């Protein structure tokens, strides 16, 4: 067995740790859990720190439990929130739970002696009535103790409902239940969860004189101050329908050198020696973006598939490297539009496709590509114009290229100027 705490320390993934945790884990296989909040029908890369914590935990020989909060999702965690969120109806919550569970199963192994388990706290809360809860759980934790938590103190000015105030008791009982019925001696989570986690260890101590442990990871911040896991379009989701494999791949490719050195330690399954070698190699030639490419490829294949990774690399090469007409034609419409999301676009009629290239690339396309026929003619003669990655060889050449996805043409002026033409 590998030392889990030491493994996380060199990866930069330890924020707070309860005394005795490392010694307990080094005694032998231990069960630990992390809770995942089913507020959406997909996890996003902000959740991946916790997913990877469980993955590293399992790879060190321990048993991971992934708790999906069917019950706590009905309450709402105030940690890190400035206002109370809208509560989900049961149908939406159940849909989200099934989607999140399926995603977790892509990362963890559910076979072997330390097989992972996905558990749902609704299973033990559904028959637990209010009077039983306040008698069997509430009496062990004082209001003073609960009020001292940062998650509570930070919300007192803006307002905190009793529902959210009770959240730490509900999460504390989760730990107690998994300690008692699944042998979970450790709860893991982000640093904003420390207060909720130690409430669980305190409940176990006061209710059964038992011993349990807590450990948290730091919240990731980006070097430029922007939030990790966010892009201009919002969250980077693990669901391909919400964030395409191409956009997922691009998020990691566009990481800064400072950030990616931190990311590869957290998110890669490569061993320490290999990662340190890659970091050293990257520093010698940072322009080649070795760390970014290595991480983008590993994560895109793991979250999506090898086929999706190949498509993402191919799509990236169309904009930033050498590619062929065949590469362009192989893209589905969604990926094509995402690759060229920011380029100028225009519409032409199908009747215009028979015109000569000079007229088509200037007047027909509303002079967006070229301001005049003369400018178009001159650049075509200089070999600087392509349509669908095929060079236009003569000013009077007929525009009869096959349409991409039966409706698009991609014009290129020079090396970096692209224009998407929709044929209607």
Whole-Å CA distances, 339 to 70, 86, 314, 388: 37, 35, 11, 14
Q: Is 171 annotated as a binding residue?
A: yes
CA dihedral 15, 20, 26, 32 (to 10 degrees): -60
Assess whether the region 230-333 and the region 345-423 belong to the same CATH fold.
Answer: no
Tens digits of per-residue pLDDT, 184-240? 999 999 998 898 899 999 999 999 999 999 999 999 988 887 778 776 668 899 999
User: CB atoms < 10 A from the CB of 32, how many?
Assistant: 26
Tokens 């996380």, residue located: 8
Give domain limits for the chain: 4-217, 230-333, 345-423
Tens digits of per-residue pLDDT, 170-181? 899 999 999 999
On whether the CB atoms of residues 244 and 334 are closer than 8 A, the answer is yes
Comparing 61-70, 173-182, 228-237, 252-261, the range with the smallest average pLDDT is 228-237
Class of domain 345-423: alpha beta
Measured over all CA atoms, what is the biggest interatomic distance in the chain, rounded to whole angstroms?
Answer: 88
Name the token pair of 122.
């609704």
Averaged pLDDT, 247-267: 95
Specify the CATH number for 230-333; select among 3.40.109.10, 1.10.240.10, 3.90.950.10, 3.20.20.80.
1.10.240.10
Q: Quick one: CA dihedral 169, 151, 259, 5, positive or negative?
A: negative
Is residue 137 scored above 70 in pLDDT? yes
Is residue 84 scored above 70 in pLDDT? no
The pLDDT mean for the chain works out to 90
On whether the CB atoms of residues 53 and 13 are closer than 8 A, the answer is yes
Is residue 256 scored above 50 in pLDDT? yes
Q: What is the 3 state secondary structure string of 6-24?
A: HHHHHCCCCCEECCCHHHH
Q: Is 366 annotated as a binding residue?
A: no
Q: Is 153 annotated as a binding residue?
A: no
Q: Is 33 annotated as a binding residue?
A: yes
Averaged pLDDT, 285-305: 96
- Which of the listed ranges 276-290, 351-365, 392-406 does the model predict with the highest average pLDDT? 276-290
Tell me the C-alpha distance between 317 and 312, whole Å.
9
pLDDT of res. 79? 54
Tens digits of per-residue pLDDT, 12-47? 999 999 999 999 999 999 999 999 988 889 999 999
Averaged pLDDT, 127-131: 90
Phi and psi torsions of 412, nearest 5°: -130, 125
Tell me the C-alpha distance between 316 and 84, whole Å.
40
Whole-Å CA distances, 281 to 55, 74, 289: 26, 48, 10
pLDDT of res. 82? 46
* CATH number for the domain formed by residue range(s) 4-217: 3.40.50.620
What's the DSSP call for residue 354? G
Name the token pair of 396.
């009077």
């Amino acid at each position: 067995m590998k030392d889990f705490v030491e493994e996380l320390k060199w990866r930069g993934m330890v924020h707070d740790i309860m005394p005795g945790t490392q010694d307990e884990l080094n005694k032998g296989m231990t069960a630990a859990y992390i809770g995942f909040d089913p507020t959406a029908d997909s996890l996003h890369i902000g959740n991946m720190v916790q997913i990877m914590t469980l993955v590293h935990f399992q790879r060190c020989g321990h048993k991971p439990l992934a708790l999906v909060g069917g019950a706590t999702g009905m309450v709402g965690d105030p940690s890190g929130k400035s206002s109370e969120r809208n509560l989900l109806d049961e149908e939406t919550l159940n849909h989200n739970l099934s989607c999140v569970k399926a995603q977790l199963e892509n990362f963890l192994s559910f076979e072997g002696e330390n097989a992972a388990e996905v558990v749902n706290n609704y299973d033990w809360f559904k028959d637990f009535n209010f009077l039983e809860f306040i008698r069997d759980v509430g009496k062990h934790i004082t209001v003073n103790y609960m009020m001292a938590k940062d998650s509570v103190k930070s919300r007192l000015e803006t307002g905190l409902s009793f529902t959210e105030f009770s959240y730490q008791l509900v999460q504390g009982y989760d730990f107690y239940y998994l300690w008692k019925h699944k042998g979970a001696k450790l709860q893991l989570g982000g640093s904003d969860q420390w207060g909720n986690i130690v409430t669980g260890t305190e409940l176990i101590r006061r209710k059964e004189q038992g011993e349990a442990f807590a450990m948290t990871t730091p919240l990731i911040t980006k070097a430029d101050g922007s939030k990790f896991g966010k892009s201009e379009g919002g969250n980077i989701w693990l669901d391909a329908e919400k964030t395409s494999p191409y956009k997922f791949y691009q998020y990691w490719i566009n990481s800064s050198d400072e950030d990616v050195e931190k990311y590869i330690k957290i998110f890669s399954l490569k061993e320490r020696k290999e990662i340190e070698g890659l970091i050293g190699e990257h520093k010698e030639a940072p322009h080649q973006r070795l760390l970014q490419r290595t991480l983008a490829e590993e994560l895109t294949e793991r979250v999506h598939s090898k086929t999706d990774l190949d498509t993402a690399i191919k799509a990236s090469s169309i904009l930033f490297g050498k590619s062929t007409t065949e590469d362009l034609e192989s893209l589905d419409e969604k990926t094509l539009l995402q690759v060229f999301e920011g380029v100028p676009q225009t519409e032409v009629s199908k009747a215009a496709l028979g015109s000569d290239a000079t007229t088509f690339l200037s007047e027909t396309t509303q002079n967006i590509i070229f301001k005049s026929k003369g400018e178009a003619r001159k650049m075509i003669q200089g070999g600087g114009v392509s349509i669908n990655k095929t060079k236009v060889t003569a000013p009077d050449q007929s525009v009869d290229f096959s349409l991409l996805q039966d409706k698009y043409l991609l014009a290129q002026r020079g090396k970096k100027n692209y224009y998407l033409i929709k044929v209607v």
